[in-house]
Chain A
Amino acid sequence: MAERLLRRLVPGREGEIIAGDLREEFAARGGGRIWYWGEVLSCVAVRLSPHRLTAPDLRQDLHYAVRVLRRNPGYALTAMICLALGIGVNSTVFSMVNELFWQPLPLPHSGRLAIVGRESDGMACSYRDYLEFRQRASAPAGRFFSGLVAYDDMRVAIDSGGMSHIVGADAVTANFAEVLEMPAQRGRWFRPDDDRLGSDPVAVIGDGTWGRLFGRSAEVIGQRVRIGTQRYRVIGVAPPGFVGMSPPHMVEIWMPLASQPGVRDLLANPGEWERPLVRLIGRLADGKSTREAEAGMRALDAMIRRDFPRDNAPAGAVTVELATGASRPDVRRVAAPMAALLLSVTAVVLLIACVNVANLILSRSAVRRHEMAVRRALGAGLWRLARQTLAEGIVLGAGGAVLGLAVGYWSGRLLARSLPGFPHGGMLALRLDPDWRVVAYAAVAGLASAVLFTLAPAMDAVRSNAGVSLRIRQRDVYVVAQVALSLVLLIAATLLVRALGHALEVDPGFAMAERLEARLSVSEPEYTAQTGRLFLDRVLAAVRAMPDVQSATISHNTPLSITDARCAAPDASARPRRAGADIVAAGYFDTLGIPILQGRGFAALDRQGAPQVVVVNETFARRYWPGKDPIGQSVWLGCDVKEPRTMAEVVGVARDAKYASLDEPPQPFVYRPLAQDWAGFLTLIVHTVGRPEQFTAPLRATLAALDPNLRVYEIETLEECAAGSLFQVRWQAALLAVFGGLAMVLAAVGLYGVVAYTVAQQTRELGIRMAIGAQRADLLWMVLGRGLRLTAMGIGIGLLLSAAATRLLGGLLYGMSPLDPVSFATASLAWTAVAMLASYLPARRAMKVDPVVALRWE
């Protein structure tokens, strides 16, 4: 076996000699199969080394290839555009993946910045732990970090021009800018005395905020701005392009950690070792690797826990990873399957583009058979000719990669601009800056496709005596493959689009039409639970008194974004299980149209001091009291970690609804009355008459009249909210539709090319047929039939492939079957129509064949 390989790879006398030597030695050694294989492979390796293969001729080949392509600009351009589209979408998607997984922060020497985290994905440690880490990790004995910063991500409201805007913010330690080596664009960063208890609260704003809210005015420095619950003095503007350490989440405001009210209270208690939890980022000391730093930090972690024992220490071992991509592991975990899906889809698009180019080369190789024959006659080896084709492919691939980078850059801009359309999209940012990785990826894609699309034609050039019919059959195989692959993408896109429509039809269990919601902050320091409730009573009274208002209510969470959960148990000793939870005011069930199936909803009598009550949903009632009357039963709320459980009585059962998303299965849910429970961040829900959009401005005015300082965030209709919760499927449907459409166009071009080529080849045959009496319609059908036969085969294979592939979309289909016949049929029909068009154009040309001209042609 090995010998046969050797003889094949090392042809002629030389192979004989080596084989002879090896056999002789094999006998002398008395065996050794592995040795023999090693020797054979050494010959192969020497022979295949690029030095030996290409050095003298490659330049000549490339030079010749460029000349050939310059003489056929139409062919070269078509091929390069096909490739550019394929490589373009690939590099766009890749630059997104690159940004989410590999790109370092846009800071000087950012390759040395490392995130300190926990294996459990949790926050790194408590603030006091951080101080210990910082002191011990930079002590001369264990110097892993030259600087260590603690920070915490949050969302805050910044007030400007009478509106509150929610933006991402980081509370950081004073050494932040120094460790990140980042000067302020204007003003200054924090000094150590800014990050002390009791110091004047100061903030640095991002470049984006500076432009949007302050019109890039220099006077912003020194101005007081309300951020969250305090007034901060703006002391600086961050450099443009810096949006924090957790991309794609955008941070636009930085404040000292110690200025945060929550942190202040905790730090006032010197015995507090468990909270607040912080994230850590550090600059690795010179010569230290992340691994060394990790080992060191783990040892320190153990020491600190021993020196300062506490009940609830952060779980999981300390991890130290370079700060690249989306530095938060949870973001990466969510993004990974999406990235894999998109990369494979774009790979398929590129594959289809490659097949197109292979087709082009193939039809040209038919034209160039003459040239090849002459070159062979003059003594060119087969391998030499094949290499020539490869060189042309490489030139095309390089051109395609360069154009593709341009296409990718442009479509990346487009994508980045469409991001703010997401819910909370203002807080996500993709830079999509092409860096060397993107360029390298495009180069590899170009080269790989060059090899791919020249392989078949090159083999064809080698077997130049193979008949035309074989070549035609080969092209047919390509077209079938293209149709099949693009159909898979098209079906996937159709499925997602239909799933989107399907999801919008899902009954959410509550009424959305004519309802409007407004987010309010009724929290400390302006309001306590007591004054807040009184204020909300006034809000509800005022809103209900407005014209065209049917009813109004208040809840803690916004419908379809309820992610709160509580521990609940049917008695004091049973192990609690989690159930979804919300805090709602009286009238909630009426305003949202959620029917109360048994008992009653909340009423004015459920106030503080009165017996604690809950309303549960059907699933909750079924879980704990199957077959029994749930009214009057007790529910114990609380997880027993710190506080004792509280007991509440079930007064009503509400119909199940959708709580967090439209595709969730029924889940147990418990409602608590606002009068007996409290949260400072609330949603006002108003049921209006007529179009709720027109109600936004009057509602703002009413709220401002009650409290000019009240923070009111986005006001949306519930329908807008629901649409927002579908953003992931909407986004993927849009991208897949674009890619699927592109794939179909490329494949249609391929089909057109093949049919047109056959028509050109068959001109004479068509002429003869016509001369002996064939009707034009017969010819039309002959040509059309060929295109449709290929399409039909492609569709058949594509349907089978899709049946296997669409299962991967399972989670995004909102309960629709991945084999949804309507999607499969729609996509197939669409393809058939396109195929008709693509083969009709050349068929029309076939009809115009003049028999006299065709016959005289020879």
Chain B
Amino acid sequence: MSDYLGEFEQVVLLAVLRLGDDAYGVPIRREIEKRCGRQVTVGALYSTLDRLEAKAYLSSWFADPTAERGGRSRRYFRLEPAGVEALARAKAMFERMWKGVRLA
């Protein structure tokens, strides 16, 4: 696969990876906000998650409904092997590009 990850896609995949078993909407957004210092709207987040799932980089499942969510279930995400590989490719690409480069 020669499909490159977009910058925001990378951020989202990494957030899911970092969160492990706890990766659903709310913490993913918090993680991105905390580490990148940028606000993410729920619309943008879910459209990216859906896209990544369509590319089979992610999979998701629904948990049981909880009371704190007004009786609604959570949708948990997990990285699939293809997603891990895509992240690795992206990282390797950046490392190749950075090799021997000095800023200023």
Instruction: Identify the A interface with B (CB < 8 A).
Output: 13-14, 16-25, 27-28, 38-39, 41-47, 52
Contact = CB atoms under 8 A, between A and B. Distances in A.
A621 B68 CA distance: 90
B26 A42 contact: no
Interface in B54-84: 62, 68-70, 72-75
Nearest to A27: B68
Interface stretch (B6-14, B38-46, B92-100): B38-46
B44 A20 contact: no
A388 B68 CA distance: 43
B44 A16 contact: no
A20 B72 contact: yes
A17 B73 CA distance: 6
B47 interface: yes
A21 B43 contact: no
A43 B43 contact: yes
B74 A45 contact: no
B69 A20 contact: yes
Contacts of B29: 21, 25
Given A13-B62, A16-B73, A21 B68 contact: no
B68 A17 contact: no
Given A13-B62, A17-B25, A17-B75, A23 B44 contact: no
B46 A18 contact: yes
A38 B25 CA distance: 17
B25 A21 contact: yes
29 contacts: A13-B62, A16-B72, A16-B73, A17-B25, A17-B62, A17-B73, A17-B74, A17-B75, A20-B70, A20-B74, A21-B25, A21-B26, A21-B69, A22-B42, A23-B68, A23-B72, A24-B68, A24-B69, A25-B26, A27-B68, A28-B26, A39-B43, A41-B43, A42-B44, A43-B41, A43-B42, A43-B43, A44-B43, A46-B47
A39 B26 contact: no
Top-6 shortest CB links A-B: A20-B72, A42-B43, A42-B41, A21-B25, A43-B43, A20-B69
Given A17-B25, A24-B68, A46 B43 contact: yes
A17 B70 CA distance: 11
Contacts of B73: 16-17, 20
A18 B41 CA distance: 11
B44 A18 contact: no
B41 A38 contact: yes
Nearest to A44: B43
Contacts of A39: 41-43
B79 to A, nearest CB: 19
A44 B46 CA distance: 12
A21 B25 CA distance: 6
Interface residues on B, range: 10 to 19
A545 to B, nearest CB: 94
Nearest to A22: B42
Contacts of A16: 72-73
Which of A14, A16, A19, A21 has most chain B Cβ within 10 Å? A21
A45 B72 CA distance: 23
Contacts of A23: 68-70, 72
A52 B72 CA distance: 27
Contacts of A17: 25, 46, 62, 72-75
Contacts of B62: 13, 17
A24 B26 contact: yes
Contact of B25 (A18, A27, A28): A18
Contacts of B41: 38-39, 42-43
B42 A21 contact: yes
A701 to B, nearest CB: 86
Contacts of B24: 21
A45 B43 contact: yes
Contacts of B47: 46, 52
Which of B29, B43, B74 has most chain A Cβ within 10 Å? B43
B24 to A, nearest CB: 7
Nearest to A3: B70
B46 A14 contact: yes
A52 B47 CA distance: 10
Contacts of B25: 17-18, 20-21
Contacts of A18: 25, 42, 46
A47 B47 CA distance: 8
A47 B72 CA distance: 21
Given A23-B72, A24-B69, 5 more contacts: A16-B73, A18-B42, A21-B69, A38-B41, A46-B47
Contacts of A25: 26, 29
Nearest to A23: B70
Nearest to B48: A46
Contacts of A52: 47
Nearest to A45: B43
Nearest to B69: A20
B77 to A, nearest CB: 11
Contacts of B43: 39, 41-47
Given A14-B46, A42-B41, A42-B43, A19 B70 contact: yes
Interface in B13-51: 24-26, 29, 41-44, 46-47
A18 B60 CA distance: 14
A19 B44 contact: no
A47 B68 CA distance: 27
B50 to A, nearest CB: 8
A21 to B, nearest CB: 4
B25 to A, nearest CB: 4
A27 to B, nearest CB: 7
Contacts of A38: 41
B74 to A, nearest CB: 6
A22 to B, nearest CB: 6
Contacts of B72: 16-17, 19-20, 23
Nearest to B46: A18
A98 to B, nearest CB: 40
Nearest to B47: A46
Nearest to B28: A21
A21 B75 CA distance: 9
A39 B41 CA distance: 6
A28 B68 CA distance: 10
Contacts of B44: 42, 46
A38 B44 CA distance: 12
Nearest to B71: A20
Nearest to A14: B46
Nearest to B74: A20
Contacts of B69: 20-21, 23-24
A727 to B, nearest CB: 59
Contacts of B42: 18, 21-22, 39, 42-43
A402 B57 CA distance: 48
Contacts of A20: 25, 69-70, 72-74
A45 B75 CA distance: 21
Nearest to B41: A42
A472 to B, nearest CB: 42
